């Protein structure tokens, strides 16, 4: 009796052959079909038998091919012919369903070339399988009654991509191909109504496309400009003042200012005694720096306001304190606040921030680590399936065994270990039969009568 290495309950193994790089199994389906696949009629005539080659998961690091002796039937009622159905096989790709899902999972973390070499198909097959998988992945919105969405961007594979996040639970919901209004609008509009209704707040930056798309697709949602983005713009204005001040300095002073600029950007109450002295020296000698420094402290004070009303009062007081010579340097900020004021001050009602920038930073680092060769689809799939590329690893085999005592799970572990076995040779040539899975041609088939 042959050892059941395949573990496919639908088949009886007729022959096994082990070669240097592959295993080959010849099998026959155990149970004939009970009814016509077209009309459901029960009376069927047996027709010809054909040999069809399917690929399966590697065993002991060798590629696996399964030749199925597959019968055709003709229905007595509708006269149609059909091959007996094979529930464990993917008939489009001529491989087992378990191999399809193995390839798709592996493609999330390995190169297509290495998987192709392991399982014995061409690289393009891996690509096709992965693309089918990647495009079928749907975003996961949390079940919360109210949704707090973040819309931000990320520079990824040579262009800006829009990132949709859940700012309340700090996770990434989706990644869009670009950050342009048509893409964002289409995305938001295509969300199910039940999801749209739950979106209460949209936390974003000052990119007009996001605001326009949100207003059109989610008119009921409150737009909030994230504090982080406003403070970033503010720092840019301070930098302008510092650069203007540099012009009146000696070379030595310039180098020192370059060194001390971080102290000037830090909050006054965070400086130690020594640092305070350094800052004071700069401020006393350069009135422009002093004016900018006081504007900085007052601006940060706005974000410490307990309510939106107090924040607005502080902002208008701050605006009035800008002197004429500072006016131009702070123009980008004052214009932005004029334009996005409602959303900027909504922050004081819905204080959503930090969480999603945190996960974005993590995402950026991890996509950099993923390196070259990954498509946008691959990164999106990976991000969505691993919740922002959170690292997942399987427990060691011995570790796993001590946890699972049941025979069923132990059997699973053995099969997984077999399935995960790596090929033993590098650059081994692909056996030709394994590179183009297809129906075995007429000449080799055990044909009995024409269809
Ligand atoms: Zn029929």
pLDDT digits (tens, 9 = 90+) for 63-111: 999 999 999 999 999 999 999 999 999 999 999 999 999 999 888 878 8
The upper half-sphere exposure of residue 83, i.e. CA atoms within 13 Å in the direction of its Cβ, equals 15
Hey, which of 101-110, 334-343, 370-379 has the most confident mean pLDDT? 334-343
What's the CA-to-centroid distance between 226 and ligand 1, angstroms?
A: 63
What's the CA-to-centroid distance between 79 and ligand 1, angstroms?
A: 6
The band of 423, judged by pLDDT with boundaries at 50, 70 and 90, is very low
Read off the DSSP letter of residue 396.
P
Contact 226, 205 (CB under 8 A): yes
Residue 442 has pLDDT above 60, yes or no: no
Residue 314 has pLDDT above 60, yes or no: yes
Contact 76, 44 (CB under 8 A): yes
Least confident of 77-81, 186-190, 250-254, 437-441: 437-441
What's the CA-to-centroid distance between 86 and ligand 1, angstroms?
A: 18
CB atoms within 10 A of CB 238: 21
* Residue of 34 and 254 predicted with greater confidence: 34
Q: Give just the sign of the alpha carbon dihedral 391, 396, 397, 402.
A: negative
What's the CA-to-centroid distance between 80 and ligand 1, angstroms?
A: 6
**Collapsing DSSP states into helix, strand and coil, what is residue 25?**
strand
The band of 262, judged by pLDDT with boundaries at 50, 70 and 90, is confident
What's the CA-to-centroid distance between 432 and ligand 1, angstroms?
A: 38
What's the CA-to-centroid distance between 83 and ligand 1, angstroms?
A: 12
Read off the DSSP letter of residue 344.
H
In the block, residue with structure tokens 């689809």: 377
The band of 308, judged by pLDDT with boundaries at 50, 70 and 90, is very high
What's the CA-to-centroid distance between 84 and ligand 1, angstroms?
A: 13
* Helix 287-302 vs helix 308-320: crossing angle, to nearest 10: 170
What percentage of the chain exceeds 70 in pLDDT?
81
Under 8 Å CB-to-CB from 314, ≥6 apart: which residues?
A: 298, 301, 302, 305
Residue 354 has pLDDT above 80, yes or no: no
What's the CA-to-centroid distance between 37 and ligand 1, angstroms?
A: 7
Provide the pairing of β-strand 62-75 with 22-29. Answer: parallel
What's the CA-to-centroid distance between 74 and ligand 1, angstroms?
A: 8
Residue 214 has pLDDT above 80, yes or no: yes
Q: How far is CA 354 from CA 100, 166, 229, in A?
A: 39, 12, 11
């Amino acid at each position: 009796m042959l050892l059941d290495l395949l573990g496919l309950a639908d088949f009886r193994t007729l022959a096994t052959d082990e070669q240097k790089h592959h295993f080959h199994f010849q099998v026959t389906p155990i149970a004939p079909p009970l009814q016509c696949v077209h009309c459901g009629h029960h009376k069927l005539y047996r027709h010809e038998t054909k040999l069809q080659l399917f690929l399966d998961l590697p065993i002991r690091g060798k590629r696996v091919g399964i030749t199925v002796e597959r019968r055709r039937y003709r229905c007595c009622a509708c006269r149609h012919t059909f091959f007996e159905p094979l529930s464990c096989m993917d008939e489009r790709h001529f491989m087992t369903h378990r191999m399809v899902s193995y390839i798709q999972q592996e493609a999330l973390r390995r190169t297509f070339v290495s998987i192709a070499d392991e399982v014995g198909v061409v690289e393009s097959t891996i690509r096709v399988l992965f693309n089918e998988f990647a495009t079928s992945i749907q975003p996961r919105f949390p079940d919360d009654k109210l949704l707090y969405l973040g819309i931000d961007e990320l520079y990824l594979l040579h262009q800006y991509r829009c990132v949709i996040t859940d700012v309340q639970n700090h996770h990434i919901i989706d990644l869009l191909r670009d950050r342009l209004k048509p893409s964002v609008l289409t995305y938001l509009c295509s969300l199910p109504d039940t999801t749209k209704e739950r979106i209460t707040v949209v936390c974003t930056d000052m990119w007009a496309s996001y605001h326009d798309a949100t207003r059109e697709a989610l008119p009921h949602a409150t737009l909030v400009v994230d504090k982080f983005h406003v403070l970033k713009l503010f720092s840019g204005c301070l930098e302008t003042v510092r650069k203007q001040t540099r012009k009146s300095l000696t070379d030595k002073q310039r180098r020192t200012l370059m060194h001390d600029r971080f102290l000037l950007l830090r909050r006054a109450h965070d400086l130690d005694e020594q640092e305070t002295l350094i800052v004071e020296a700069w401020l006393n000698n350069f009135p422009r720096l002093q004016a900018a420094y006081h504007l900085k402290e007052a601006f940060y004070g706005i974000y410490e306001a307990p309510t939106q009303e107090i924040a607005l009062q502080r902002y208008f007081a701050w605006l009035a304190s800008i002197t004429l010579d500072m006016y131009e340097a702070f123009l980008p900020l004052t214009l932005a606040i004029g334009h996005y004021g409602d959303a900027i001050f909504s922050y004081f009602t819905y204080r959503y921030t930090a969480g999603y920038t945190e996960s974005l930073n993590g995402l950026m680092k991890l996509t950099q680590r993923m390196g070259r060769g990954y498509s946008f689809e691959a990164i999106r799939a990976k991000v969505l399936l691993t919740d922002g590329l959170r690292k997942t690893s399987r427990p060691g085999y011995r570790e796993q065994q001590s946890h699972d005592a049941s025979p069923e799970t132990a059997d699973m572990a053995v099969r997984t270990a077999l399935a995960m076995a790596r090929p033993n040779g590098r650059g081994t040539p692909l056996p030709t039969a394994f590179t183009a899975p297809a129906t075995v041609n007429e000449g080799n088939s055990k044909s009995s009568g024409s269809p």
